[in-house]
Amino acid sequence: MNWTAIRAIFTFEMFRFFRTIAQSFLAPVISTSLYFVVFGAAIGSRIQEVEGVSYGAFIVPGLVMLTVITQSISNASFGIYFPKFIGTFSELLAAPISFLEIVLGYVGAAATKALIIGIIILLTAFFFVDFTIQHPLAMLAFLLLTTISFALFGFIIGIWAGNFEQLQIVPLLIVTPLVFLGGSFYSISMLPPVWQTISMFNPVVYLISGFRWAFFGTADVPIITSLLAIGVFTALALGVIWWIFRTGWRIRE
Amino acid sequence: MTTIVDIQDLRKSYKDGFQALKGVSLEIREGEILALLGPNGAGKTTLISTVCGITTASSGTVTVGGHDIITDYRAARSMIGLVPQEINLEPFERVINVVRFSRGLFGKRSDDAMIEKVLKQLSLWDKKDNQIRELSGGMKRRVLIAKALAHDPRVLFLDEPTAGVDVELRKEMWEVVAGLKADGVTIILTTHYIEEAEAIADRVGVIAKGELMLVEDKDKLMARMGQKELEVQLTAPLSEIPAALDPHALRLSDSGDALIYTYDTRAERTGITKLLSDVAQAGLTLRDLVTRQSSLEEIFVTLVHEDSDTAAKGERA
């Protein structure tokens, strides 16, 4: 394993992150703060409690997940698409490194960035609402698993995308709706029965439910189901990446 | 001399059936400068990309320093530096960071002294903290070279290093290449400037339509293919060539004071002795004699013409 190369990719990507610090940190912090103001304060004043938790606190795990998922995808997809776009990708192909090392470098950096942002959002949340985290370790583990699996997914999008529009289209048309409809701002149990059933097909429901359990000890679905769901998603993403690198799809002619 | 890059029967076909390489075999000697000459779309870049691992060959083998580029790709690629044709650089990154990145990517530990040496060698040291977008085109190209050299390669591929570069910078690039050769680096460069191959190469390979038409020592190639011109300068200008000299197929210079004789250096008899005695018999007085060797460019044009002539004959047959 060429750890020096992995570290080189990782550091290079993190440099980009810190160079665009305003865009990287401020944007998610500001948008999350807006969610707290609009959903927590304005709407939350009408909804007293959800499953024994104040509405303001209830939406915290969902908001963190929302940001972490979108950030993992956009960081990883952009991270690998950008070298393709400007042509520096050929340097990766000509380097004495394996595809596994390329994935570790890019996905590792994208997941780390998303993790940092997730923690910042969490810290921001403490300024708006009072809440305690019942299972902090489980919370961190969930966060980590989510960043890794969605960064893998983002990596696939970045490899697949042939232009900037394609790079945006999957997050915009599929991921964002799934996350919004995945119970970020409500409990699935608040929905009519039909929609509850439909929601069960949304993988994000399991993530947010599990993550919320780590915070408040209550969940829409059993925690083991949540873990299973994220495990399956990660395995799928890994499988696709393994196939991409085996065949050189969209990478090597 | 030992072979450092060994290419055997390399073929590359694309899905649409286009054959970019039609069985290229080439042995590159350690420490030489090999210029691959050919028109656009001849397969020069495909050949380089395949050796460097960017493109996968359809068949054939390549070894670098004895390491197969597929089965032992780590060892093979560690020896290679590639300067791509396109200026592919992250515009907002700093010069030193992109060069450090390249070194790390090749698995070499960071070595600031080495990076400093490379940047100084390429006159980039005072620009090390500049963003790439602030650099001129020529400097960007030198950054590409610095990146390729950052991991201390034994073989350096330069794909059209001076395409679209002004004369001054081209000369500067040649000096850099000469310096690298002095350090023992084997250099393969593609170009469609014959002048470039003529100026810096030890050997010249000509590629056309995916085939390597010839590889030869530059000097030998020029001697073998070279046509020479003999200019017979006269003391008094002529209005026309005397009929007695017709068998020599001479041309009269524009000013009329020189006769130009073209001969083939490969021929057993160049016909010079006979020409000079005929000139004397015609009553002309000589002022001076000048000979000129034809350039690689003329050789190249001859080669490509021969090829199309052969093809045309083949079609007729």
A28-40 pLDDT per residue, tens: 888 888 888 887 7
Q: Which residues pair with B3 in a beta bridge?
A: B29
Strands B155-159 and B186-191: parallel
Kindly list the residues of chain B whose beta carbon comes within 8 Å of any beta carbon in chain A: 14, 49, 52-56, 73-78, 80, 82, 84, 86, 88-93, 97, 100-109, 147
Mean pLDDT of all residues in B71-85: 96
Q: Can you list the pairs that B238-245 forms with residues at least 24 positions away whose Cβ atoms lie under 8 Å?
A: B238/B284, B242/B282, B242/B284, B244/B278, B244/B281, B244/B282, B245/B275, B245/B278, B245/B279, B245/B282
CATH topology of domain B227-293: Alpha-Beta Plaits (3.30.70)
CA B257, B263, B265, B268 torsion: positive or negative? negative
Over the stretch B237-265, which tens digit does the pLDDT of each residue have? 998 899 889 888 899 988 899 999 988 87
Helix (H) or strand (E) holding A49: strand A49-50
Cβ atoms B204, B218 nearer than 8 A: yes
pLDDT of residue B198: 84
Angstroms from B43 CA to nearest CA on chain A: 15
Q: Say yes or no to pLDDT of B181 above 90.
A: yes
ipTM for the predicted complex: 0.88
pLDDT of B312 above 60? no
CB B198 within 8 A of CB B295: yes
Q: Determine whether the interchain pair A252/B56 forms a contact, defined as Cβ–Cβ distance below 8 Å.
A: yes
Give the pLDDT score at A130: 87
Is the Cβ pair A91, B102 closer than 8 Å? Answer: yes
Query: Would you tell me how many other CB atoms lie within 10 Å of the CB of residue A224?
Result: 9
Mutation target to probe the B interface, by most B beta carbons within 10 A, among A4, A16, A20, A91 is: A91
Question: What span, in angstroms and rounded, lies between the C-alpha atoms of B23 and B307?
Answer: 17
Confidence of residue B315 (pLDDT cuts 50, 70, 90): very low
User: Where does the pLDDT of residue B317 fall: very low under 50, low under 70, confident under 90, or very high at 90 and above?
Assistant: very low
Judging contacts by C-beta atoms under 8 Å, the chain B residues touching residue A249 are none
CA B305 – CA B238 distance, rounded (Å): 34
A232 at the B interface (CB within 8 A)?
no
Chain B nearest CA to A100, separation (Å): 13
Q: What's the pLDDT score for residue A252?
A: 79
A21 at interface of B, judged by CB pairs closer than 8 A: no
Longest dimension (CA), chain A: 60
Are the Cβ atoms of B55 and A12 closer than 8 angstroms?
no
Average pLDDT for residues B146-154, to the nearest whole number? Answer: 96
Q: Do B49 and A90 touch (CB under 8 A)?
A: yes
Of B115, B167, B163, which Cα lies nearest the Cα of B143? B115
Contacts of A90 in chain B (CB under 8 A): 49, 54, 82, 84, 88
For A179-190, what is the mean pLDDT? 87
- From A10's Cα to the closest Cα of chain B, the distance in A is 10
Task: Sketch the domain layout of chain A as residue ranges.
Answer: 3-247
| Bridge pairing between strands B80-83 and B155-159 | parallel
Q: Which of A4-13, A233-242, A243-252 has the lowest mean pLDDT?
A: A243-252
Lowest mean pLDDT, pick from A41-45, B173-177, B202-206: A41-45
| pLDDT over 70 at B160, yes or no | yes
Confidence tier at B172 by pLDDT (50, 70, 90): confident
Q: Where are chain B's structural domains?
A: 3-223, 227-293
Closest CA to A218 of A243, A183, A170: A183
pLDDT of B294 reads: 67
Q: What residues of chain B lie within 8 A of the CB of A86, using their CB?
A: 88-91
Residue A49: predicted pLDDT: 82
Q: Which of B52, B89, B105 sits opposite A8 (nearest CB)?
A: B105
Return the CATH class of domain B3-223: alpha beta
Whether residue A95 and residue B106 make contact (CB cut-off 8 A), yes or no, is yes
Nearest to A90 among B54, B77, B97 (CB): B54
Determine which of B75-79, B125-129, B191-195 has the lowest per-residue pLDDT on average: B191-195
More confidently predicted of B193 and A149? A149
Pairwise CB contact (< 8 Å): B97 & A15:
yes
Residue of A nearest to B75 (CA): A96
Helices (H), A20-54: 21, 27-35
Instruction: Find chain A residues with C-beta within 8 A of B71's C-beta.
Output: none
Instruction: With CB atoms and an 8 Å threshold, state whether B105 touches A91.
Output: yes
pLDDT of residue B304: 67
pLDDT above 80 for B297: no
Residues 79-98 of A with CB under 8 A from B: 82, 86-88, 90-97
